[in-house]
Structure 1
């Protein structure tokens, strides 16, 4: 558990970065928004770079945990695992738009060493999609001849939710999740074996 002041700073920085972007956000405004002095802020973080890095780590931790929980609740088939990842990602982007947009847009603002570390975490997130798609292609469950393109299309579809989805819009998040799962399985050309002959006996 973080100290209350540290938590307040992270939330203030998240709001400032989401509203103004990292480049335009002011460290003074972040401290003021958190209800503390600059000197108190520097007790926790050395500046905007460290705040951004902490926010990105926190966001990736939450996202990875959401996906892990979703995977733990399904079976081992590639279709089930891909569906779980798509559902968890769509829900996370819809429920945590500000956090997601910082994750997706502000990594470019990190300095060199921090950017390299975050790139490794992004690769781990990509593997959530890559693993079930590659497994499904290898087993013949997914028929797409273009697994890399399908993966990129599915990821882009899920990530875009953070930019356009609104809770007060005409589509509920649950309905959107169902659509995204269906679209993802279509992109990988999922062809389940229905076993009709066994059922007719």
Structure 2
């Protein structure tokens, strides 16, 4: 690969992305500690000194990887959780699809972050863990909002959140699918529909046309009401 000679903003971003892709492969095979800066430089056609024009070292590369994946995912879902102008079910579907799409676009990066957290510098590891908690909290908030407006079945919020994240995250271990020509966006959309099929309510605006169906909806409403009462009941401390 020719060495970059022009320090334009576009060129800088391009080389930085190349460095991150090289880091994904080398860190995955050799570990963070086992990868030298010279190996990263060789992978993108830079000198070791040239790498310092883009990052200060391996720790900053790791920070870019975490920022571009874990932290941006948390920020994206957090924005969806507070966007109350849109229906909760619509936002929940977008949240699941966005996580699945991000994983499908960078499956190796996700696997690297999953297995290398112990190698992160402590400040970065702390940000990474906090972002993962924020992602789960935002998804749980979206599920609760959908339960409140009746567009979601009265499922256990924590269980549903873990299940939906599990579906999205597992993409990293099988994408791209052998023999199927599906883009990350197509995979994400289909997975979101499949996963949310077991979470979102299937009641229709016209109601139901059978006694068993009506009873099932009544049971959902009773369970939802019990959940709302339990959630709103003040805790009593001795």
- TM-score class normalised by the smaller sequence: 0.7 to 0.9
State the match for 2:176 in structure 1.
166
Q: Work out the CA distance in 2 between the residues paired with 1:107 and 1:150.
A: 25
State the match for 2:43 in structure 1.
33
Determine whether 1:98 maps to 2:108.
yes
TM-score by length of structure 1 reads 0.77
Q: Work out the CA distance in 2 between the residues paired with 1:37 and 1:175.
A: 39
- For residues 89 and 57 of structure 1, do their structure 2 counterparts lie closer, same or farther at Cα, with a shift above 3 Å needed? same
TM-score by length of structure 2 reads 0.66
Q: Work out the CA distance in 2 between the residues paired with 1:14 and 1:100.
A: 9
- For residues 179 and 118 of structure 1, do their structure 2 counterparts lie closer, same or farther at Cα, with a shift above 3 Å needed? closer
Report deviation, 1:159.
Answer: 0.5
Q: Work out the CA distance in 2 between the residues paired with 1:67 and 1:16.
A: 30
- For residues 46 and 156 of structure 1, do their structure 2 counterparts lie closer, same or farther at Cα, with a shift above 3 Å needed? same
Q: Work out the CA distance in 1 between the residues paired with 2:140 and 2:41.
A: 40
1:100-157 Cα deviation digits (max 9, x unpaired): 3234333332121221122222233324422211212233432334110111011011
State the match for 1:55 in structure 2.
65
State the match for 1:183 in structure 2.
195
Q: Work out the CA distance in 1 between the residues paired with 2:204 and 2:151.
A: 12
1:24-48 Cα deviation digits (max 9, x unpaired): 3332211111222223324443432
**Of 158-167 and 101-110, the range deviating more from structure 2:** 101-110
In terms of fraction of residues, the more helix-rich structure is 1
SS in 2 for 1:160: helix
- For residues 149 and 68 of structure 1, do their structure 2 counterparts lie closer, same or farther at Cα, with a shift above 3 Å needed? closer
Matching residue within 134, 148, 158 for 1:124: 134
Q: Work out the CA distance in 1 between the residues paired with 2:188 and 2:67.
A: 27
- For residues 145 and 193 of structure 1, do their structure 2 counterparts lie closer, same or farther at Cα, with a shift above 3 Å needed? closer
Q: Work out the CA distance in 2 between the residues paired with 1:49 and 1:26.
A: 12
Question: Which ranges of structure 1 fall in alignment gaps of 5 or more residues?
Answer: none
Contact 1:90 1:161 in 2 (8 A): yes
Q: Work out the CA distance in 2 between the residues paired with 1:80 and 1:43.
A: 43
- For residues 62 and 118 of structure 1, do their structure 2 counterparts lie closer, same or farther at Cα, with a shift above 3 Å needed? closer
**Of 145-154 and 1-10, the range deviating more from structure 2:** 1-10
Contact 1:86 1:181 in 2 (8 A): no
Structure index of larger Rg = 2
Question: Which ranges of structure 2 fall in alignment gaps of 5 or more residues?
Answer: 1-8, 208-238
